[in-house]
Amino acid sequence: MDEAVREVMPLVLVMIRSTPQQLHSIEWAVAELNSETGKIQLHGKEAIWAPEANVEGAMTDIEAFDTGLPDEPTVEPRKQDETPPDA
């Protein structure tokens, strides 16, 4: 048991960059603590998600939660096609 505790275990960090108005990116990396310096080094940093370039400009007119709750969408029932009685 003592040997297992002394071994280094990898820690995966998920980094989310956002503002109240928009999600900017999601990245992940394996974090390793340097015991000599006490600093954390990230290995294999990779983007999981980033906005598409052509969509970024279109998202500026979306109402954000930082100004309160957004207006709820109008929901109306759809008209259903008539179904034959033997269906």
Confidence of residue 51 (pLDDT cuts 50, 70, 90): confident
Tokens 């960090």 correspond to 13
The percentage of the chain sitting over the pLDDT mark of 90, rounded to a whole number, equals 22
Q: What is the 3-state secondary structure (H, E, C) of 2-42?
A: HHHHHCCCCEEEEEEEECCCCEEEEEEEEEEECCCCCCEEE
Domain boundaries, the chain: 10-54
State the average pLDDT over residues 52-67. 58
pLDDT at 22: 83
pLDDT at 56: 47
Give strand pairing partners of 42: 31
Q: Residue 37 above 60 pLDDT?
A: yes
The percentage of the chain sitting over the pLDDT mark of 70, rounded to a whole number, equals 61
